[in-house]
């Protein structure tokens, strides 16, 4: 017990001083192995390789690349123009535009960072120019980016599915309705804030777009809007798997920006491939490290101990879900969201299966919980990126984001208590 406490304290300290989570995990694994004479160090390299040896994980770099290409290839601006035509005339209209643009873009990217870093560089200056306070612009951009990994395609769903053996196709369909509902939920939150005068510095309201303007915006964004139709249609029809869909998406994105829109050169495309590779490298080394940690947890019987604790909670499966999500909400304040998914999915899913919880439903709830983690300080990555773009401090961001975090937690428990919102579509298609 003393050794475990010391290892835990060292891990917490290294996280606080800014050591990347992958290296913290590997450090913990090394210390566990060094303190246990029955664990063979020679098994670690094999577990590192095995953790990344998954066909479905090939989809991650491909979907990340799609997001990078769409952002840099001028697609983001076209989607924003469409969002402006649709909801720009609402009160606090550009805030609604921000959310709708994220809903549309999420059908192509599947990551929060590509949304907030790509669209955010356009949306935040646009919102500030039209009268929003910088912290408000940063918060709404960060919060809207959480929609991306819920609406398919989704990198967190791919990670969860690969690490737990859950159907990625079912997860994609399960996220469709909650993702759209989350967008509408956030728009309702913005409307309520505007009505209360919280977003009171807005000085400009757009005129309702004419049908001609609307159809023009749809025409300009047509090729981008076709992307999720091709991906989801192909997977649902069984024409290709999630990994193959990612490859199709990359080819389609390259064809659009290089030959249809002619917005990028081959040299720029090469730079985009390098940018995506850098981002994916961080994810994959974390996957490899987490696989070693998960193996040690299973070998040490920690999963069984945790299961016994869960079983001791009265109230059945729903109470188990509530307790797990409350714990995850707290952990998400201190550990990066992707790392949490990689680290905890292989441990939690066997537990929730034994308590009778649908792993597809849990996958949606778990991912949504982790998306809340991306906007909660001190390590919320979307909050950090958006604050940097807007030029505001994390303290100002934190004060502004609290109502939205409360709203998203309320939405989380709505999906938690009404499982058909997530399971209806996959049960209908995958009978």
Q: Residue 324 domain-assigned?
A: yes
Structural domain count of the chain: 1
Q: Residue 3 domain-assigned?
A: no
Q: Looking at residue 210, what DSSP letter applies?
A: P
Domain limits for position 391: 45-429
> CA nearest 71: which of 120, 29, 33?
120
Please answer whether residues 149 and 157 qualify as being in contact, where contact means their C-beta atoms are separated by less than 8 angstroms: yes
pTM (2 d.p.): 0.79
3-state DSSP call for residue 228?
helix
Q: Residue 263 domain-assigned?
A: yes
Spatial separation of the C-alpha atoms in residues 248 and 4, rounded to whole Å: 46
* Neighbouring residues of 303: CB distance < 8 A, sequence distance ≥ 6: 297, 347, 350, 351
> CA nearest 158: which of 260, 56, 256, 12?
56
Q: Residue 13 domain-assigned?
A: no
Q: Residue 149 domain-assigned?
A: yes
Q: Residue 25 domain-assigned?
A: no
Query: Average pLDDT for consecutive 10-residue bins of the chain (431 residues)?
Result: 66 71 76 70 72 70 79 78 84 86 76 74 82 89 89 85 86 92 94 80 64 88 82 75 80 87 86 81 74 69 64 71 84 74 81 83 92 81 82 86 93 93 88 64
Q: Residue 29 domain-assigned?
A: no
Give pLDDT, residue 410: 95
Burial class (CB in 10 A: 0-12, 13-18, 19+), 402: exposed
Q: Residue 376 domain-assigned?
A: yes
Q: Looking at residue 290, what DSSP letter applies?
A: H
Spatial separation of the C-alpha atoms in residues 134 and 396, rounded to whole Å: 9
């Amino acid at each position: 017990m003393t050794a475990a406490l010391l290892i835990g304290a060292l891990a917490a300290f290294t996280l606080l001083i800014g050591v990347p989570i992958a290296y913290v995990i590997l450090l913990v694994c090394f210390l566990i192995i060094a303190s246990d004479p029955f664990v063979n160090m020679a098994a670690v390299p094999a577990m590192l390789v095995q953790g990344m040896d998954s066909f479905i994980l090939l989809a991650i770099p491909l979907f990340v690349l799609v997001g990078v290409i769409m952002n840099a290839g001028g697609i983001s601006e076209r989607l924003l123009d469409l969002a402006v035509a649709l909801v720009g005339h609402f009160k606090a209209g550009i805030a609604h535009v921000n959310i709708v643009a994220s809903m549309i873009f999420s059908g192509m990217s599947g990551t929060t960072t590509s949304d907030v870093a790509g669209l955010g560089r356009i949306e935040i200056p646009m919102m500030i120019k039209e009268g929003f306070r910088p912290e408000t612009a940063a918060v709404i951009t960060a919060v809207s980016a959480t929609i991306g990994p819920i609406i398919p395609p989704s990198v967190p769903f791919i990670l969860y599915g690969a690490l737990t053996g859950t159907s990625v196709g079912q997860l994609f369909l399960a996220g469709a309705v909650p993702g759209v509902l989350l967008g509408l939920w956030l728009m309702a939150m913005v409307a309520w804030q505007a009505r209360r005068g919280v977003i009171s510095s807005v000085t400009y309201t757009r005129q309702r777009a004419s049908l001609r303007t609307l159809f023009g915006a749809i025409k300009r964004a047509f090729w981008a809007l076709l992307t999720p139709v091709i991906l989801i249609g192909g997977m649902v029809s069984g024409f290709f798997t999630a990994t193959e869909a990612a490859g199709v998406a990359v080819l389609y994105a390259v064809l659009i920006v290089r030959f249809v829109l002619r917005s990028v050169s081959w040299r720029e495309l090469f730079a985009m491939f390098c940018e995506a590779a850098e981002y994916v490298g961080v994810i994959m080394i974390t996957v490899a490290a987490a696989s070693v940690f998960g193996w040690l947890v299973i070998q040490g019987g920690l999963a069984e101990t945790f299961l016994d604790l869960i079983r001791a909670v009265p109230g059945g499966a729903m109470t188990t879900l509530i307790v797990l999500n409350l714990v995850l909400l707290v952990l998400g304040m201190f550990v990066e969201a992707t790392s949490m998914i990689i680290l905890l999915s292989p441990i939690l899913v066997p537990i929730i299966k034994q308590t009778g919880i649908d792993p597809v439903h849990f996958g949606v709830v778990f991912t949504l919980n982790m998306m809340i983690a991306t906007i909660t300080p001190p390590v919320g990555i979307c909050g950090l990126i958006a604050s940097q773009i807007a030029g505001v401090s994390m303290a100002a961001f934190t004060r502004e984001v609290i109502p939205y975090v409360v709203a998203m937690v309320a939405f989380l428990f709505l999906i938690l208590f009404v499982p058909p919102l997530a399971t209806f579509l996959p049960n209908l298609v995958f009978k």
